[in-house]
Amino acid sequence: MKRTIIVISIIILIFGFNSTVFGADSFKVGVVNFEKILKESSAGKMTQKQIQAKGDEFQQKLQDEKKQLDEMQKTFERESLVLSPEKQQEKQREFRIKVNDFKKMQQNLAQQFKQLEVQLLNEIQKQVFEIANKIGEKEEYQLIIEKKTAGIIFYQDGLDITDQIIKQYNLKVSKAN
């Protein structure tokens, strides 16, 4: 009885070990560098230009508003000597309101900019993930991970499929345009 249990255990270990070893050869892992895709793909470059243009537009709005505030303050300083105390308080109040409006505008534009950036990057990420899924299925990868999100410190160059994704993504974008 003991002998049969030992023999069966040995057989299970041998076959179990062998299947694990044979299965290890077919385990395929891919690594994707999303930052590289943003920098090198045509869609990533277009998105960066779009984000930059919107940022410049918002910056110009803020600069224009700041100039108006500076002019208002200079005008108040010049007129303060001839204005009555009531008018001075009224002008100071108007200026404080304008400063608060400027601060709110600054916060709103920063929030709008951040939302736009997140929206555009999420769209690229969604498309890149679709391409990575197709590559994974086609080339039978068991695992494809994003370099930064996964916290990868080192990987062999052969595991990196970023360039392959960039090529397919550029093709997809050129067909859409």
**How sure is the predictor about 35, in pLDDT bands with cuts at 50, 70 and 90?**
very high
Q: How many residues does the chain have?
A: 177
The token duo for 99 is 């400063």
pLDDT of 146-157, one tens digit each?
A: 888 877 878 788
Please check the confidence at residue 175 and state whether its pLDDT lies above 70: yes
pLDDT of 38-89, one tens digit each?
A: 999 999 999 999 999 999 999 999 999 999 999 988 988 888 778 888 888 8
**Considering the entire predicted model, what is its pTM?**
0.70
Please say whether the beta carbons of 135 and 93 come within 8 A: no
